[in-house]
Amino acid sequence: MTTNKNKIQFLLGDKLTEIEFNSEISPTTTVLNYLRSLPNHKGVKEGCAEGDCGACTVVIAEESNNKLTYKSFDSCLIFLPSLHGKQLITVENVGTSEKLHPVQEALVETHASQCGFCTPGFTMSLFSLYKQDFIPSKEFIIDALTGNLCRCTGYKPIIEAAHKCCGEHNHDYFSENENETILKLKGIKNSTNNIVIDNGIQKYFLPSNLAEALQLRTDLPNATIINGGTDIALRVTKKHEIITTIIDLSQTIGLKKITKTDKEWIIGTGVSIEDVRIEVKDIFPALYEMLSVFGSKQIRNKATFGGNIGSASPIGDSTPVLMAYNSTLVLKNTKAEREIKLREFITGYRKTQMSSDELIIAVKIPIPNTNEIIKSYKVSKRKDLDISTVSACFNLLKDEKGKIKEIFMFYGGMAATTSRASKTEDFLNGKEWNRENIEKAMKLIDEDYTPISDARAGAEARKIMARNLLMKFYNDTINL
């Protein structure tokens, strides 16, 4: 295998497509802007350019173990190089006016399009759902459509269209040609190892293995790391920033596996948020609940576990939960590997203990004891597809007499970092788990945090939310 310099290859529909990067086409060009530049791919729409509306939804098929998986994505959040070796499917590829796809037929039959601006995005979300091999429940359908906004309020017929076309069979033009598509994608992968793009303004690296990624990290300590990139993309689409050097881990083998043992799960930092969410439901339900309100399915398909942790955002959805589970991060450079508790990893606003030559390669989550009670909560202006105003995760351990043996309380959105309510914990430890003590403890949260006011909430509102989340946790666990 060789290194491709300044070019990538992928399938656009079933057509082998090559892009050569130069001074006129940037490696941080989004898939949305690329498609809009083509004469026959105007179906993808720009509604927000920040992954909030779904009008630009596309589906990307990727080969693994001689099988194709189809997932929906916001094309405004994807940089072109990450398409290498994949199949990009747009609404133009799904069907034509002469021969509609079953998804399109269902949308027509249920009168599910009004002004039509959002319809291509809904079509692609439904197409992704159509390509799954099960009959989706209404809850599953709604989740698949959460990332698509209809300004004409036409959701009911769109949901009806999903029930009408999804699940009974997923046979279509793509399944007929799946073997041929797999061979084409394998051909691209087998001919190319790493992608290196240098157009004189920006340098973009797409390493295929961990050793190469770690060497790049050592050689380019100031490079921007993309592991998902749903937040990095906004620096380009909203701030129009030119990021000069990027190391994109989206195709790095070794970061995309989940290892399960009797004591812990080891989750690679390249595993998507959606794949983690699906896997952890039974063993780590508090994490599942939080990840279920982590953006839309399009965003969860793109965002990664490592990216959410590594950003060290004080409102990162996964951080309070992983801290409550007492998770450990595995950090690695070219010379050594070390572990550090997530509770100790974040040192300040978007600052961590990671060295400039290290990458986070995995998260170790210990399987909780049967007597641990762990629950997570998120307060936001919208239930789905919204940033946390305040989030929290609690871990309660009671003794045989029902008293609090130990409690851990982690809040996001209350300080510059995700942090513990230490004074409140100290007060509760050793006391009865009853309403009187909870009401006393709620007042202490004000001493643990001095939140700020911003566009999402005022400081006093945040304190009220934090206090009420503790009471909610009590009400949810009073009989456990």
Q: pLDDT tens across 211-234, in order?
A: 999 999 999 999 999 999 999 999
Q: State the Cα–Cα distance between residues 240 and 236, nearest whole angstrom.
A: 4
Q: Which domain holds residue 152?
A: 102-171
Residues 345 and 240 in one domain: no
CATH number for 142: 1.10.150.120
Examine residue 133 and state whether it is found in any structural domain, yes or no.
yes
> Which one of 214, 248, 282 terminates a domain?
248
Residue carrying structure tokens 């190391």: 247
Residue 427 tokens, joined: 């007060």
164 strand-pairing partners = none
Residues 37 and 160 in one domain: no
Residues 158 and 280 in one domain: no
**pLDDT exceeds 80 at position 4:** no
Q: Which residues are within 8 A (CB) of 355 and not within 5 positions of it... i.e. 6 or more apart?
A: 331, 333
Among candidate residues 247, 196, 205, 258, the one with its CA nearest the CA of residue 357: 247
Residues 142 and 271 in one domain: no
How far is the CA of 317 from the CAs of 131, 343, 378, 410, in angstroms? 29, 15, 8, 11
CA 189, 195, 196: angle at the middle one, nearest 5?
A: 165
- Residue 29 main-chain phi, psi, to 5 deg: -65, 130
Residues 158 and 180 in one domain: no
Lowest mean pLDDT among 12-16, 132-136, 175-179, 366-370: 132-136
> Which one of 205, 222, 248 terminates a domain?
248
**pLDDT exceeds 80 at position 3:** no
Residues 145 and 242 in one domain: no
Q: State the Cα–Cα distance between residues 438 and 73, nearest whole angstrom.
A: 43
pLDDT at residue number 22: 85
Residues 229 and 262 in one domain: no
Number of domains into which the chain is organized: 3
> Which one of 248, 272, 292 terminates a domain?
248
**Beta strands 390-398 and 372-379: pairing type?**
antiparallel
pLDDT-based confidence at residue 2 (cuts at 50, 70, 90): low
Residue 123 amino acid letter: T
CB-CB neighbours of 152 under 10 Å = 12
Q: Which residues are within 8 A (CB) of 366 and not within 5 positions of it... i.e. 6 or more apart?
A: 263, 264, 325, 326, 327
Residues 362 and 269 in one domain: yes
By three-state DSSP, how is residue 386 classified?
coil
How far is the CA of 136 from the CAs of 163, 165, 268, in angstroms? 8, 10, 28
Q: What is the DSSP string of 418-464?
A: -EE-HHHHHHHTTSB-SHHHHHHHHHHHHHH--PPP-SS--HHHHHH
Q: Can you state the percent helix, strand and coil of the chain, rounding each to 5?
A: 35, 25, 40
By three-state DSSP, how is residue 340 classified?
strand
377 strand-pairing partners = 392
How do residues 33-73 score in pLDDT, each as one tens digit? 999 999 999 999 999 999 999 999 999 999 999 999 999 99
Residue 369 is given by DSSP the state P
Lowest mean pLDDT among 23-27, 159-163, 180-184, 261-265: 23-27
